Structure 1
């Protein structure tokens, strides 16, 4: 069986990238493959915003990724530089920048590009989903 690192670059709700990656991840896991980590980069980091509230008749992509990660012990890593540019901060970054609030969704972790490279070096394939 193969091991994968997923790199998601497209924004939720304006790109098919996060939904396509989610479907790929579910199919790969069901087939017995491993997903070492999921890395959200560029506009893909918007998926990690805890304040996202899509209409009830749309898939709540943040929750779907959280559930998949919880069920399969997946790492959901968010590029810290891309996240900060787009106003997504964890408690530590909010304090560091003198902000009173943070909005990184539960189950997601801010990380540097080194985490993506590290994952690439220790897995079979990198799959990139972009908008």
Structure 2
């Protein structure tokens, strides 16, 4: 069940709201992670704006480009990538949580002298400040997992 937090209690009644989505559940919590994706997709289809999707805690594992899903399971990474392409959606990944989980882009791989990077395309490593900024700009912040 999503945790809905009202960021601006008196959002203008224009019919369209702005959202920030926080995904704190990973592929091991498939139903919650899939709910986050479906909720975000439906918001966009209904004409709402999603400022950013922020992957945090276990959610950073969804940004790994090196996992292989069983054929009978949904690959949420590719679903998020396609949604990002279709709607020019920002997919921010908490850099501190990602580094701890071993999810790195080329810049961080070079910085820490790692053999390679594994951050999936369309995902970007960002700091918590990006979540704070998106939260300040949106009408609603919705968090999945925890």
> What is the TM-score when the length of structure 2 is the normalising length?
0.87
Give the 3-state SS of the residue equivalent to 1:56 in structure 2: coil
Give the 3-state SS of the residue equivalent to 2:107 in structure 1: helix
- Counterpart selection for 1:69 from 70, 84, 104: 84
Give the 3-state SS of the residue equivalent to 1:127 in structure 2: strand
Q: How many angstroms does 1:17 deviate by?
A: 2.6
> What is the TM-score when the length of structure 1 is the normalising length?
0.96
Structure 1 residue runs of 5 or longer lacking an equivalent are none
Give the 3-state SS of the residue equivalent to 2:21 in structure 1: strand
* Equivalence for 2:67: 52
After superposition, the C-alpha distances for 1:40-83 in whole angstroms (9 at most, x for unaligned) are 00010000000111111211100000000100000000000000
Whether 2:133 is the aligned partner of 1:118: answer yes
Q: How many angstroms does 1:15 deviate by?
A: 4.4
Question: Radius of gyration: which is bigger?
Answer: 2
- Counterpart selection for 1:38 from 53, 73, 83: 53
Count of paired positions? 131
Aligned alpha-carbon RMSD (Å) = 1.0
Alpha-carbon distance between aligned partners in 2 of 1:88 and 1:17, rounded to the nearest angstrom: 21
* Equivalence for 1:98: 113
* Structure 1 range deviating more: 113-122 or 53-62: 53-62
Whether 2:67 is the aligned partner of 1:29: answer no
Q: How many angstroms does 1:118 deviate by?
A: 0.2
Does structure 2 retain, via aligned residues, the 8 Å contact 1:12–1:61? yes
Alpha-carbon distance between aligned partners in 2 of 1:66 and 1:18, rounded to the nearest angstrom: 14
Alpha-carbon distance between aligned partners in 1 of 2:80 and 2:130, rounded to the nearest angstrom: 19
